[in-house]
Amino acid sequence: MSPKLSLSFAAVFALVLALTSAVLLGRSDAAGAVGIGGTCAGIAGLGCDAGLWCELEPGTCNRADAAGRCVHAPQSCGLSLRPVCACGGRTYSSDCQRQRAKAQKSHDGPCR
């Protein structure tokens, strides 16, 4: 076997080993996720467990370090008509409808 071929094999082997180690050590899985009611987002950028979403504090739309809590989105909503404004300027007919859409809340009342 030529020296060039064995050097290439060694380089490829080292690269595969390094990538495998990086994937196994740096993977982001459920171990780093937060459960129901836990603090999410914020400076740490923590995500929520599967089936939950991170609801930020109302009015923190433009804060990069805003923290929230992990909650379930409602599956259905009543007929309440109390409009709320979501971040991004969309008005929802109720806070429940906004939560169902997993939209962050800007303020109570319709968007201006």
Measure the CA–CA gap between 69 and 57, rounded to whole angstroms: 8
Measure the CA–CA gap between 70 and 53, rounded to whole angstroms: 5
pTM above 0.75, yes or no: no
Q: Is 109 left (phi over 0), alpha (psi -120 to 50) or beta?
A: left
pLDDT at 3 over 60: no
Measure the CA–CA gap between 109 and 50, rounded to whole angstroms: 31
Q: Is residue 80 within 8 Å of residue 94, measured between CB atoms?
A: yes
Give the residues across from 70 on adjacent strands: 54
pLDDT per residue over 17-72, tens digit each? 444 443 333 434 455 788 999 999 999 889 999 999 999 999 999 999 999 999 99
pLDDT per residue over 10-19, tens digit each? 665 555 444 4
